[in-house]
Amino acid sequence: MYMINKIFSIKNEIEFNKKALEVFKHQFKNNKVYRSFCDLLYIHPSDITKIEDIPFLPIQFFKQRKVVSSLDEVDELFTSSGTTGSITSKHYVTDINLYKESYLKGFHHFYGDIEEYTVLALLPNYLERKGSSLVYMVDDLIRKSKQEESGFYLNNLEDLAKKLTQLNHQHKKVLLIGVSFALLDLIEKHQFKLTNTIIMETGGMKGRRKELIRNELHQLLSAGFGVEKIHSEYGMTELLSQAFSKGNGIFETPPWMKILTRDTEDALTIQPTGNTGGINVIDIANYNSCSFIATQDLGKTHHNNTFEIIGRFDNSDIRGCNLMVL
């Protein structure tokens, strides 16, 4: 509980930086995989004075190693989706309460009280996709919303269409969260004019439809649902926190998470704000695993602590939730 309070009480950049340096020392000492990586780079905590100096573990390590900073029993194992025969990432979570606090406080930070929303999910349910951190979160948000209509609707688009129209007439606040191709499937069959509904896409087109750039996708979804902005969620199997976008593909992180970009030619060089590069994530909530991860996404950071995702490195695997429903 002490650790939960320390992480989620971070209020500003000074507190964040201080906590990040503390967590680095803890993970250097207690995470064998991360320690070996730092040793290979000849980096020791005595060399680190600012967050830009911290080594970021390449995300591929989660496919080959057990990345943990704790000796506690594993509460939950999250795995990425993958094509048949491909190696999936494994995230061993030793304290599931850190994840729960992260997504509940993160949601509240950006959207307010979950009990004010009816949560409709265009995702496979918990039984259909065990091991998905996204499904775990949405399943819990559905329960916490305490609304009778909240639920998973991936296999029931007709019911979902009726439900959306009905809730709109009743002026209820609704969160419709789903993979992109399923949202597109829905608006190909039905057109909406929604006034109190947040449409949130979690990515996901590979193998089901022609890949669209985010702008094209959002234009189609905006027109189909009759809403001005399309919201997005940015998270991954290997993390315990998410960033959210309320439109235009511009993401914001909760106070315990930060995005930096690295030079694409020199992975150890952190770039100034405004430059496009590889996305590095600091996720303080990932205290019992690794909080410093070099992803395979390309993006750009902005001065107001926001960022955008531009694409992927050419040879990278398809990202988790894209394949979740295949």
Residues 92-104 pLDDT 10s: 999 999 999 999 9
Same structural domain for residues 65 and 119? no
- pLDDT digit string, tens, across residues 287-296: 999 999 999 9
Same structural domain for residues 146 and 108? yes
Same structural domain for residues 129 and 223? yes
Asked if pLDDT for residue 243 goes beyond 50, the answer is: yes
Report d(CA 219, CA 254) in Å as an integer.
27
Beta carbons within 8 Å of 46's beta carbon, 6+ residues apart: none
Asked if pLDDT for residue 164 goes beyond 90, the answer is: yes
Asked if pLDDT for residue 3 goes beyond 80, the answer is: no
**What's the pLDDT score for residue 215?**
86
Same structural domain for residues 135 and 262? no
Asked if pLDDT for residue 77 goes beyond 60, the answer is: yes
Same structural domain for residues 118 and 230? yes
Same structural domain for residues 181 and 108? yes
Q: Which residues pair with 251 in a beta bridge?
A: 245, 307
- pLDDT digit string, tens, across residues 120-157: 999 887 667 889 999 999 999 999 999 999 999 988 99
Structural domain contains residue 243: no
Structural domain contains residue 83: no
Structural domain contains residue 37: yes
Q: The domain containing residue 164 runs over which residues?
A: 98-236+319-323
Nearest CA among 116, 144, 106 for reference residue 240:
106
Same structural domain for residues 116 and 219? yes
Q: E strands of 238-313, at which residues?
A: 243-245, 251-252, 257-262, 276-283, 292-301, 306-312
**How many domains does one find in the chain?**
2
Same structural domain for residues 210 and 292? no
Answer for the pair 91, 68: CB distance below 8 angstroms, yes or no. Answer: no
Same structural domain for residues 182 and 211? yes
**What's the pLDDT score for residue 127?**
64
Structural domain contains residue 246: no
Could you give the percent of the chain with pLDDT greater than 70? 91
Asked if pLDDT for residue 14 goes beyond 70, the answer is: yes
Tokens of 321: 């939730």
Asked if pLDDT for residue 228 goes beyond 90, the answer is: yes
Band the pLDDT of 163: cuts 50, 70, 90. very high
Structural domain contains residue 29: yes
Asked if pLDDT for residue 275 goes beyond 80, the answer is: yes
Same structural domain for residues 267 and 231? no
Least confident of 126-130, 189-193, 203-207: 203-207
Same structural domain for residues 148 and 231? yes
Give the CATH number of the domain where residue 270 resides: 2.30.38.10
Structural domain contains residue 87: no
**What's the pLDDT score for residue 160?**
96
Same structural domain for residues 179 and 210? yes
Structural domain contains residue 90: no
Q: HSE on the CB side for 3, CA within 13 Å?
A: 16
Backbone angles phi, psi at 198, to 5 degrees: -95, 125
**What's the pLDDT score for residue 209?**
59
Structural domain contains residue 12: yes
